[in-house]
C-alpha cells in the first residue's frame, strides 16, 4: 500500500464500529501538488482513510483472516478541508444489507465535520493481500498494544 492513512486506532467494537486518527503532516508528498502553495488533503484520500479503517475493523473482527475491498461508494459529502497539522478523527460503523458489507463513516477536525461517506465492500481473504503476521503486528502498533 502506498499510503498508510491511519496513524492510530483508538477504539474497536468487533463487527460493529471503529475509531481512528489520521495526522496530516506537511511532509506528505500528496500535499506538494494538491494544491501548489495551498496544501490540502485531497478528499479522495480522506475516503481512502475510511476504507483503510474498514479494513482494520474487518481484520480485527475476523481474527485477521479477512480484509475488505471497496466495490461502490453510495455517497460521499465533503464539508471542509484538512490542512497540514490537522488531526482528523474518523468514526466508522458497519452493517450488512443483502449480504453486502456497508460502511458509514464521518471524519472531523476539532469537532467540525469534514467528510461523511457510505460505501460497500467485499470481504476477501487477508492472506491474498498481505502477510497475516505483519498485519497483526501493525495493528498492535496502531492500537498501542505494544507500548511503542
Q: Which residues are the active-site residues?
A: 34
- Please give the DSSP secondary-structure letter assigned to residue 65: S
47, with CB counted inside 10 A (0-12, 13-18, 19+), is: buried
Q: Tell me how crowded residue 143 is: count the other CB atoms within 10 A of its CB.
A: 16
- Counts for the chain of helices (H) and strands (E), in that order: 3, 6
Residue 67's beta-bridge partner residues? 124
Q: Do 126 and 67 contact (CB within 8 A), yes or no? A: yes
Amino acid at each position: 500500500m502506498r499510503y498508510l492513512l491511519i496513524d492510530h486506532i483508538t477504539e474497536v467494537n468487533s463487527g460493529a464500529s471503529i475509531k481512528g486518527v489520521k495526522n496530516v503532516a506537511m511532509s506528505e508528498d500528496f500535499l506538494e501538488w494538491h494544491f501548489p502553495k495551498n496544501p490540502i488533503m485531497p478528499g479522495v484520500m480522506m475516503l481512502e482513510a475510511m476504507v483503510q479503517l474498514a479494513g482494520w475493523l474487518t481484520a480485527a473482527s475476523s481474527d485477521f483472516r479477512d480484509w475488505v475491498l471497496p466495490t461502490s461508494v453510495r455517497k460521499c459529502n465533503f464539508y471542509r478541508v484538512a490542512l497540514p497539522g490537522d488531526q482528523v478523527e474518523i468514526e466508522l460503523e458497519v452493517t450488512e444489507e443483502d449480504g453486502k458489507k456497508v460502511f458509514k463513516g464521518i471524519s472531523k477536525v476539532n469537532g467540525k465535520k469534514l467528510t461523511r461517506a457510505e460505501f460497500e465492500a467485499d470481504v476477501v481473504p487477508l492472506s491474498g493481500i498481505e502477510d497475516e503476521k505483519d498485519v497483526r503486528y501493525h495493528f498492535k502498533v496502531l492500537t498501542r498494544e505494544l507500548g511503542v
